[in-house]
Amino acid sequence: MKIDWLAASLVSKGRLVRPPLNPSKLTSEHLPDICLRMHLILDSIEFTRCEGRLINLEVFEPIDKLYSDLLHKTTNHLGDWMDCIERFGDYYELSGRDVIEVSPRSVSDQSYMFEQLSIDLVDGLTRK
């Protein structure tokens, strides 16, 4: 399984946005956090290079579907989304390094997602 990238912290301008996850201890309850991470990374990478370029739908559509399912389905299972999570990590060549930098613009633009998925920002960026 190529999900070791989930062990990386997400940081924006030196501030922790999401702490690392332990890939060997993931459960279905981690899906909102994983979904948010994928959106933050995708937005941070693709926004800067999307003009005149289309986003790979094989990567985008599944994470968009996951977000929708998390909002509208009462039960979501990690196992159903492992292919999507692995494909995402492979596509962006992510690894379990210590930090993945996400843009402040992405954090701001995705703030609605933090709220809708009931995830708090960390390191002084909380909405508590």
Q: What is the pLDDT of residues 34-86, one digit of tens each?
A: 999 999 999 898 876 665 456 777 888 999 999 999 999 999 999 999 999 99
Residue 34 has a CB neighbour count (10 Å cut-off) of 22
Instruction: Determine the Cα–Cα distance for residues 56 and 115; give it in Å rounded to an integer.
Output: 26
Distances (CA, A) of 25 to 13, 60, 78, 98: 28, 25, 11, 18
The SS3 of residue 92 is coil
Q: At 8, give phi and psi (nearest 5°).
A: -90, 140
Please tell me the total count of domains within the chain.
Answer: 1
Read off the amino acid at residue 88. Answer: F
Q: Would 123 be classed as within a structural domain?
A: no
Q: Which domain holds residue 37?
A: 4-116
In a domain, 122, yes or no: no
Q: Decide: pTM greater than 0.85.
A: yes
